[in-house]
Structure 1
Amino acid sequence: MSRVLIVGAGLTGSLCACLLRRELQSQVHIVVWDKAKGSGGRMSTSRPPHASSHSADLGAQYVTATPAYAQSHHSFYSELLSAGVLQPLHCHIEGLQQKHGQENYVTPRGMSSVVKHFLSESGADLFFERHVTGLYRHGASWEVERKAGGSETFDAVILTMPVPQILQLQGDLETLISDQQRQQLDCVRYSSRFALGLFFSPEVVFGFSWGAKYFMDSPCIRYIAVESRKRSADISGLAQSLVVHTSVSFGLEHLEWDKEDVQPIILQELHRLLPHLPQPISIKCQKWRYSQVLTTVPNSPGHMTLLQAPSLICGGDAFSHSHFDGCVDSALSVIRALKASLRV
């Protein structure tokens, strides 16, 4: 049985683990590592400071399916809808640019529930706070080093973290990447942004009617959402939470600032846009250095095989498109490549 390590417990990593389980169940032992304290990646859901508050999606907000993807990825959408992980978006989002035939979906239990669903289906051994720092080839296997010390050996490794983090890995990776592959990886560009989660006391009622809104005339804030309204969730007994996303230009301008210095600027603009907003009882600030992929690997191949044997394969939305279906495409591509390298 081959030991396969998937680095990254985001959407692509969880899909890879799930597909491996379903297609090669008796032939692989699946292990997933993530440097964070929980799963989700850019589909993370922040737990509230108090059990009486609503959770907050600080990353991706909803899933948009084009007619073509709704057909080609029908099995994935059907599975998530049947499991109650996804449901149609019903709330009013001001400024949402809706194209003909598109369907939007939200997650009643938060965006991380999509990732958690696929991880649960995978049966993988899941470990958090495992930050990979180096890859070393030893014959037919990989020795994978962790930041906290120690290493483990695997027969195949799948890397699903952002491309700049892949290029920072120590060990044998630098000699394995061809000049052409490095040029392709160097083409990848990401947007950056900050996100705030504001948690309120139970008696707070918002005076505006929308569930979410895009702000096109603010130099700082691009999007605000009331989590319960966005998800059409029953919040009986739960306090409200608000999510604020900054614009791409603001994120880039303040990328190297500390979160503590950026938060007051965002809050000042928030109170300009919503002057009657009550004071929250708690605030969480998230910096997304790698928010959305602006420029993918040329021709969007879905994956990149750095070594056939022992297998070392890169995947993620940087190799396809920066949305749910891009991650599905990448995961399918990665698994096809891995099966070919394992000759199964």
Structure 2
Amino acid sequence: MPELMRAVVLDGPGAPDALKIRNVPRPRPQRGWVLIKVHAFGLNRSELHFRRGLGSFGSFPRVPGIEAAGVVADAPGGEFPIGTQVAALMGGMGRTFDGGYAEYVSVPASSVIPFASTLDWSTLGAVPEMLQTAYGSLTVGVNAVPGSSLLIRGGTSSVGLALTVLAKRRGMTVLATTRNPNKAQALVDAGADHAIIDTGSIAEEVRTIFPGGVEGAVELVGAPTLRDTLRATAVHGTVCFTGMLSDEWTVPDFYPIDYIPGGVRLTAYSGGAKDLPPAVLQEFLDAVAAGEVTVPIGRVYDIEDIVHAHQDMEGGAVTGKLVVTVGGRLDDRSLMLEDRDTNG
């Protein structure tokens, strides 16, 4: 009989209550894959899209979740010692193979990033995908220069808040947007120099601050605001299309010469574990531990409250990263002993 674990299962597209907690077989990793005992995982907008059946990726039934944080329970290829703290993200997690909404997850070793930290698991669970997306957007997408200006369209999202933190550590001037005036202070608290209320048309306001336009911008809202973001950007500036908070990611009747202002660069970023070097993750976690950086956590849930968590994500009820903690049957020391006995 296979060992069982608790996991969230999605049989097909649906509302938040389509997420069902069940006992399912614990995965057994093949060589080149790593079994992780999950302690926490962050919620991501793409998981909402997957749950709704939007897009053409993935299959059902599926354990969702494109990220997780925990400890190595088994690595048949010897890539990581048992007990190593790790983050796992992307690479097909929660889409083409079962993801992080579970007590255990098996992932390719290439999707695993090791770290060492004494931070609590709810904090560690908030970081991996949020940091990877923010860091990749800033470096791969925008190629941001320290001291330059950055517009973050969708600033109160978890990635937007993380972008503010990273940009300020580079000495950049940050303009961040929110549609909700009540959330403007959250942008300032995160370090934004300018909090802009997003009416859908903010280019003119941005240019009252930077008459020539900003040097870089990260588009997190999606297709409806992209054209306006491009118009807020300077000649030879770069706009990186990263997020789709609007749930709209295609531009109808796209005519580039008319749509993109002359000389403004448009890029995109989706990325994965390869774009988050272990040293960058470790430096960020160390900065959090030292009190130099604050992780923008909105709310922490138990895995039993996954439906409520998705309801909050869908309704935009919480500012910051939503995190789910996973209770385990074993502590890490007993897990190590158990796996060593099992594996001979």
Q: Which structure has the higher relative contact order (CA within 8 Å, separation 6+)?
A: 1
